[in-house]
Amino acid sequence: MILLVDDEQDIRSVLSASIELEMNEKCIEASNASEAIKLLKTIPGIYLIASDFHMPGGNSKHIYEYNAENDNLPFLHLSTDHAGYCGFDEEFNEINVHNNSFTKPFDIFEIIEVAKKIKEDIGKNFIDHKNGYIGINIEKVKVFNIDDQFSLYIQRSPDKFTKLTNPGEIFSDKSISSYRKKGVEKIYFKEDDFHQNVDRKAEKIRLDFEKNPNFSEVKTQLSSLCEVQSLAKNFGISEESIKYVDTMIHSIQKSLEKTPLLHDIIDKIKKSENLISQKALLTAYTLGCVSKKLGHDSNGLPQKVITAALFCDSQLEDDHLCRITNLNSTELKYFSLSQRKTIRTHMELAIKSILSVEQIIEEEKRIIMEHHELPDGTGFPRGMDAKSASASCALFNTCYYFSHLSLVENLDFDESIDKMREVSFDKGAYKKVFEALRNIKY
């Protein structure tokens, strides 16, 4: 049985129908990561997961990580981005030799061929088809919670199956141990009963999520301005600070009305349409709050750093390019040469795009140029450490890196603070800013 996960019903339906036709294999479907994890916990017989990456309710990395820590089933990554771009670790192809990545638009029949090979190699160890019966490993029966109306069987000989008179007893650890001692490895269902039970359970899980989409098991990707603001408030940034920054962004945008391209960049950020926009917004909100804590709200520095936040990543074309904060990152190998060049030079490209704008001064351009510098000296382009950073760059880079950890790496407030200590944000020119950031919540 194969688990298909994609938030687009059309893609799931086409892939599911093709697999069932070409492989004579049962597919169950989920529309988000939380739903998929629930199915993995409750339905036995799944031997392969094929999942899209970007979905509400958590991306496929959460399914991959849950799976790796439990049954470690073969995992097919289906996305517009390579698995490496999406933050999967280097062990993706090592942790299970059958793991594979397919880039959209993908060839359905190529996926089916890979799935067939996986079924041939390991599928028989998960589900056993015999004479109209389906057998599953006896330990998995316990989590299936079979409806009372379905009968269970054990195999007495190659062609003989005996119905259990009290199927409920199989769910106890004692009964499982007893059957094990008798040599019983699998419990069997009539094939139609098994598929009906799977369909009922999958449908119940789907309806439960439609009625109450509780995605608490995994972190969701933000999809609106309100959600970015909500995250900021969760970190301790006040409503007053958020309004202060929103007013400033509106003022900056208004001053650029005669430069349509830059005006449109800010408009896109305000709509919070993608991860780059969300990161710019959260950086701006964090800057507004930290600046006030440091007493900069009357010296003009907040407007400079917030202006820099709006344009610093404006020349990155795709969300996955904003993952890189260190040119020594192992993730760089997943990018093309042209993408690597964009990552290395996007600061210069951003500055070029605003060169003719009188309202944007040299200090703002310098902040943009240095926004990937890190206090331990591992940043780029110059490798500046905590001793050589200016006050404005220390302020900006602290808030920018915090926003990166929160949104791109999905860390909570405390995890982000701990991670920032590891790269020396509590040292040198960064120390006071870091303490002000930490005191937002505490």
pLDDT at 167: 62
Residue 149: helix, strand or coil by DSSP? coil
101 token code pair: 């990545």
What is the pLDDT at residue 212?
A: 54
On the question of pLDDT at 405 being above 90, the answer is yes
| pLDDT surpasses 80 at 17 | no
Helix extents (H) in 212-238 = 225-234
Strand partners, 412: none
Whole-number pLDDT of residue 228? 87
Pair 406, 280: CB distance under 8 Å: no
- CA 413 to CA 289: how far, in whole Å? 15
Query: pTM for the whole thing?
Result: 0.54
- Residue 251: name the closest of 307, 333, 309, 167 by CA: 307
**CB of 73 within 8 A of CB of 48?**
yes
Which CATH fold would you assign to the domain 2-211?
Answer: Rossmann fold (3.40.50)
Tally of CB atoms within 10 A around 38: 20
CA distance 355 to 360: 8
Cα separation, 235 vs 406, whole angstroms? 10
pLDDT value at residue 360: 79
First and final CA of the chain: distance in angstroms? 49
Report which of residues 294 and 12 the model is more confident about. 294
Strand partners, 28: 3
pLDDT computed for residue 230 by the predictor: 86
Q: To which residue do tokens 């650890």 refer? A: 173
The arithmetic mean of pLDDT across residues 154-181, rounded, is: 78
| Structure confidence at residue 417 (pLDDT) | 96
Q: What is the DSSP letter of 80?
A: S
Q: How far apart are CA 219 and CA 78, in angstroms?
A: 20
| CATH code of the region 225-438 | 1.10.3210.10
With a CB cutoff of 8 Å and minimum separation 6, the contacts of 143 are: 41, 42, 43, 44
Residues 257-297 have pLDDT tens digits of 777 777 777 877 777 668 888 899 999 999 999 999 999 87
Which range has highest mean pLDDT (194-203, 205-214, 251-260, 419-428)? Answer: 419-428
Q: What is the pLDDT of residue 56?
A: 65
Domain ranges of the chain: 2-211, 225-438
Per-residue pLDDT at 386 exceeds 70: yes
- Distance from C-alpha of 57 to C-alpha of 411, rounded to nearest angstrom: 16
Q: How far is CA 207 from each of CA 9, 39, 272, 425, rounded to the nearest angstrom?
A: 15, 13, 29, 46
- Identify the band that residue 206 occupies on the pLDDT scale cut at 50, 70 and 90: low
Which pLDDT score is estimated for 420? Answer: 97
Taking residues 293-313, report their average pLDDT. Answer: 90
What is the CA 250 to chain-centroid distance, rounded?
31
Phi then psi for residue 160, to 5 deg, are -120, 125
CB of 63 within 8 A of CB of 37?
yes
Question: What values do phi and psi take at 409, rounded to 5?
Answer: -100, 0
Name the band, by pLDDT with cuts 50, 70 and 90, for residue 218. Answer: very low
Q: Note the pLDDT of residue 154.
A: 84
Q: What is the mean pLDDT of residues 155-160?
A: 84
Burial class of residue 160 in the structure, from the number of CB atoms within 10 Å of its CB (0-12 exposed, 13-18 middle, 19+ buried): exposed
